[in-house]
Amino acid sequence: MKALERLFERIAQRVTINLREFGFDVHPYAEQLVPFEKLSNFYGFYGVSSQHPLDFKFLHSNLAGSYFLGKCRTTNSIVYKSDIRGDELKKKGEVFKAQGFQIPLTRDEGIRIEDSFLVKTLVHNHSHDPEHPERFPICNTIACRYCNIHGSPMDGSFLEPFATIDLTTMNDCIVGAFSYIQAGEVHHLRIAPGTIWVKSPGRFNFLYQYPKDSLIRYVQFAPGFPAKGQLMNFVRKRKEDFQRVFATVNGEAGITVPGSASVDRYAVIKFKTSISDNVLVAQRAFLENSRLGKGANAQENCYIISSNLAGYDVTAHGAKIVEVDMGEMVFVGFNSFLRGRPDARLAIGRDSIIMPHTIIDSDQPLHIPDGSLVWGLVTGPEDLAKNSISLEELRGIEGGFSRGRLFFEGSGSNFVDAFCQRIQHILEANGAFYDGNSGRGHAQKNQNISFNTIQPYSEGALKGMFPTIDILP
């Protein structure tokens, strides 16, 4: 255990040094994230298939409960119950197009985690960074529970619970709880909890700030204390279901899975759930009493309960959907929390976009019209009126507008087009449009993944550390 304790101290010091301009010490926040004893109780595991490159190296690290797929390196790091998905990494021979440049790749891209502590964090997608097109690094960083690091190279940063960094290069930043940042490049900033910031320089800037008094009902995080609030209560209530799944070597979905769909063996599928063709259900997803129509997906750390998804719906990493009826082609963004009630269901019209980190929590029936954009905190019709806009109206905006706590500047048309293009890419990558011959994606490629486990030292000074492992074809 001494080696593990020294490793933690090494990481904490490196992150603190990078954040010294803020006078910020990570120790009070990080020491309570995971008891050291837990770090020796879980195996790590990696996926093997003919569809994904087999290229792993684990050096002087703890990997407790974490999943790796694709080309990944972990050095001097603690990665606890995290998902490191390298199934969309760029390949040798491809031409990477970014900011007007066309960059030929001379080797496969890989995820490299160094001197970092990730807790129940999702890492996914190829990096957007043209300066390092073949390397997706996460260095000198601590990410707390249920964070998402999506295509975002990162160095010297601290992410509070439920934070998402999406397609953004980030250096020496502190990101508050439940914040979503997609801003290209961010350096030396301290971002307040509940900040939703989507920026494309010269095109648009979307900025929303949650009211502090309302946000703390859903998530609170303070030094010396674990995260708390309704979001943490929600996931803790279903914790035992995942413990049963991970305790079983060979699991079955327990439902009929069409030949063009895939349900990960580390997902929880409970009674009265059905899935249709081309559906993708990722590891650590939770489905109960719900229907997923053709081409819909449930990504990592998603919860879909007592809901109906008509088809081609995207439920992004960490989103939670409860008592919802959803039309086709609805996008629900990262870590959103949509909660209707059995006698007051939430209905979302087709072709709508629910922005990342949106909270819709209504105790009365609520209907979102077709083709809407919704953001922020919505607890009833009055909130919906000031936290939504039709996509058609938004397309016509040039220059900017403000509504409630939202400030938008730039081209509404560019903003809508960027989101629609990304949704289309997600559906194509997931195989939502597979016709039996063309359009294969994750729903088809993930059907035959085999899982291999790796174990830590169980006693002595190295207790909790994993042996150095180099896994190649």
Report yes or no: 80 and 133 within 8 Å, Cβ to Cβ.
Answer: no
Instruction: State whether 92 and 186 are in the same domain.
Output: yes
* pTM metric for this prediction: 0.97
229-258: average pLDDT: 85
Does residue 404 lie within any of the structural domains? no
In whole numbers, what is the pLDDT of the chain averaged over residues? 95
Does residue 32 lie within any of the structural domains? yes
Does residue 406 lie within any of the structural domains? no
pLDDT at position 14, please? 98
| Chain segment 358-399, per-residue pLDDT in tens | 999 999 999 999 999 999 999 999 999 999 999 999 999 999
3-state secondary structure of 305: strand
Please determine, for residue 285, whether its predicted confidence score (pLDDT) is greater than 80.
yes
Please determine, for residue 53, whether its predicted confidence score (pLDDT) is greater than 90.
no
Neighbouring CB atoms inside 10 A of 382's CB total 9
Instruction: State whether 154 and 292 are in the same domain.
Output: no
* Amino acid (1-letter code) at residue 300: E
Instruction: State whether 253 and 140 are in the same domain.
Output: no
Does residue 152 lie within any of the structural domains? yes
Instruction: State whether 39 and 153 are in the same domain.
Output: yes
pLDDT at position 367, please? 98
**C-alpha span between 61 and 314 (Å, rounded):** 34
262-277: average pLDDT: 95
Kindly indicate the confidence band of residue 146, based on its pLDDT and cuts at 50, 70 and 90.
very high
Task: Calculate the alpha carbon distances from 30 to 36, 161, 175, 301, 345 in Å.
Answer: 12, 11, 14, 22, 39
What percent of the chain shows pLDDT beyond 90?
A: 90
DSSP 228: B
Instruction: State whether 422 and 463 are in the same domain.
Output: no
Instruction: State whether 214 and 274 are in the same domain.
Output: no
Q: What angle do CA 32, 34, 39 make, to 5 degrees?
A: 150
Which of 164, 160, 168 minimizes the C-alpha distance to 180? 164
Instruction: State whether 301 and 159 are in the same domain.
Output: no
State the first-to-last Cα distance of the chain, in angstroms, to the nearest integer: 32
Which of 55, 58, 80 minimizes the C-alpha distance to 70? 55
**C-alpha span between 38 and 66 (Å, rounded):** 13
Instruction: State whether 263 and 381 are in the same domain.
Output: yes
Instruction: State whether 355 and 222 are in the same domain.
Output: no
DSSP line for 390-411 = EHHHHHT-EEEEEETTEEEEEE
What percent of the chain shows pLDDT beyond 70?
A: 99
Written as six digits, the tokens of 437 are 């011959």
Does residue 216 lie within any of the structural domains? yes
**C-alpha span between 231 and 301 (Å, rounded):** 12
Burial class (CB in 10 A: 0-12, 13-18, 19+), 85: buried
Q: In what order do the strands lie in the sheet with 164-166?
A: 398-403, 406-411, 204-209, 195-200, 180-182, 164-166, 148-150, 122-124, 83-85, 67-69, 44-48, 450-454
DSSP 38: G
**C-alpha span between 331 and 304 (Å, rounded):** 14
Please determine, for residue 130, whether its predicted confidence score (pLDDT) is greater than 90.
no
Report yes or no: 302 and 315 within 8 Å, Cβ to Cβ.
Answer: yes
Which of 356, 294, 293, 296 minimizes the C-alpha distance to 285? 296
Does residue 171 lie within any of the structural domains? yes
Instruction: State whether 62 and 112 are in the same domain.
Output: yes
Instruction: State whether 197 and 265 are in the same domain.
Output: no
Domains in the chain: how many in total? 2
Residue count of the chain: 473
**C-alpha span between 279 and 263 (Å, rounded):** 8
CATH number, position 58: 2.160.10.10
State which residues form the domain around 225.
2-232+449-471
Q: In what order do the strands lie in the sheet with 324-326?
A: 274-275, 291-292, 308-309, 324-326, 346-348, 366-368
Which of 191, 201, 214, 215 minimizes the C-alpha distance to 167? 201
Does residue 283 lie within any of the structural domains? yes
Kindly indicate the confidence band of residue 251, based on its pLDDT and cuts at 50, 70 and 90.
low
Kindly indicate the confidence band of residue 254, based on its pLDDT and cuts at 50, 70 and 90.
confident
Instruction: State whether 299 and 440 are in the same domain.
Output: yes
**C-alpha span between 96 and 414 (Å, rounded):** 22
Kindly indicate the confidence band of residue 181, based on its pLDDT and cuts at 50, 70 and 90.
very high
